Amino acid sequence: MTVYFLLLKQRVEMISKAKWFLDKTSPIIFGIDDITNSKCQSRFLREQCDCGYLGLGDEGLYNYFANYLLKKYPEIRVTYFLVMNSHSTYLDNGKTGSIYDNNDFLKLLNSILDRSDEIAYHGHNHGYSNATLMDRKWCREFEQYSPGEYFNIIKNDLNLFKKRFDYQILGGRTPCYSFREDLVVGLIDLKFRWWSFDFKPFTNNISLKYGDDKIIEMPSNISGDAFIYGGNAIKSKIKHLLNIVKIEKMMKSRYVISIAEHFMNARPDGKRQTPNVYDDINSLDFLFGYLRNKDVWYATFSECANYYESYNNTYILDMGDGAFEIKYKGDWKMYLTFISDHRYLQNIQTKEIYEGFMKNNRWLFNDLVEGIYRGHEDVF
């Protein structure tokens, strides 16, 4: 009996699923809220205070962000959370409007997509116009409408974006993570694949929490200002060391590392928005410099969600006699790395032979499809 179970285990372990793409330790996803066709002016703000209004221009915030971070770390993948219409919070003679009213902003969006970064949904107008910081209505846009009206607005936003850019938005985040769980069904009906519901520093992870596993909850767990230096250098260094320990613990548990930032520099009271990419550029530089030495996977939110969905909906069935079947029961597209002891695997049905690549003395495969396979010792 013992010998039988050992043989069965050996057959099943001939192929396995990698926890993350390329068998990396953790995904690194980077979400930036409030990119929009807006520019603010306030006595509280320094020069870089547009949220995309200036497009790719030299004075624009995106140019600053790209030059100081993206060029240094081209491996970074960004998911930008886009406000589609006039942003509710701009003040002191600021400028704001629909994303389609500004050719410079449209060029910026095209540049983002050309870089293979991601656009996600961050609301129609973010909240009530002329709202105060105290009542928080500046980030509760859904309270202005009935659920039916609200989801019709979102549907129209998604359709217009798809028509203009030939790009399907797959996920999003409501302003300030302000959302009611009874609205989740509407997100599922709109065919969103994932949503970012909450920020919990160093703790929350990706999950299938909502809607009978039909929408993936994407985490947000590290603030982009985690490595800002405060007035006390010693306290700052201690804080930074503790944050590094927490990140190492997350990677050891193979959590998703999800970094949260804003393009918007201003709050409705005119003071600084924290975190924001302009103020936090040195903190982000330190964080991505630290992560560069780690075996991590840089992904968009949708890529990470797709992999997680595939991992949880793909099954390996032992067919006996050294054969196994890969079955995918999800409703996305199977996007998965497999691990095998064999350099070559042959699809018995199509006769196609797949060659793996070596990592940590095991063979990895990224291009396997559903079907029945057997290890193939020699191609020739």
pLDDT in tens, 46-87: 555 788 888 999 988 999 999 999 999 999 999 999 998 866
Dihedrals φ, ψ of 188, to 5°? -65, -40
CA distance 172 to 79: 9
Residue 309 lies in a domain: no
CA distance 26 to 322: 31
Q: Are residues 78 and 155 in the same domain?
A: yes
pLDDT tier, 91 (very low <50, low <70, confident <90, very high otherwise): very low
CA angle 65-70-72, nearest 5°? 115
pLDDT tier, 211 (very low <50, low <70, confident <90, very high otherwise): low
Residue 48 lies in a domain: yes
Q: Are residues 226 and 356 in the same domain?
A: no
Q: Are residues 6 and 124 in the same domain?
A: no
Domain span at residue 225 reads 25-299
pLDDT at 243: 97
CATH number at residue 214: 3.20.20.370
**Domain end call among 274, 299, 324:** 299
Q: Are residues 340 and 293 in the same domain?
A: no
CA distance 176 to 122: 10
CA angle 117-76-86, nearest 5°? 45
Q: Are residues 9 and 83 in the same domain?
A: no
Counted domains in the chain: 2
**Domain end call among 299, 334, 364:** 299
Residue 304 lies in a domain: no
Q: Are residues 6 and 58 in the same domain?
A: no
**Domain end call among 275, 299, 323:** 299
Residue 253 lies in a domain: yes
81: nearest Cα among 138, 111, 123, 53: 123
Q: Are residues 337 and 237 in the same domain?
A: no
Assessment of whether the complete model's pTM goes beyond 0.85 = yes
Q: Are residues 256 and 113 in the same domain?
A: yes
pLDDT in tens, 274-329: 899 999 999 999 999 999 999 999 999 999 999 999 999 999 999 999 999 999 99
pLDDT at 127: 67
Contact predicate 304/254, CB 8 Å: no
Distance from the Cα of residue 204 to its chain's centroid:
14
Please check the confidence at residue 249 and state whether its pLDDT lies above 50: yes
Q: Are residues 205 and 233 in the same domain?
A: yes
Q: Are residues 191 and 337 in the same domain?
A: no
Residue 11 lies in a domain: yes
Task: Average the pLDDT over 105-134 and give the result.
Answer: 84
Residue 308 lies in a domain: no
Residue 307 lies in a domain: no
pLDDT at 119: 98
Residue 131 lies in a domain: yes
Q: Are residues 54 and 111 in the same domain?
A: yes
Q: 186-217 burial, b for 16+ CB within 10 Å, e for fewer?
A: bbeebebbbbbbebeebebbbeeebbeebbbb
Residue 3, classified by CB atoms within 10 Å of its CB into exposed (0-12), middle (13-18) or buried (19+), is exposed
Q: Are residues 286 and 320 in the same domain?
A: no
**Longest Cα pair distance anywhere in the chain, in angstroms?**
79
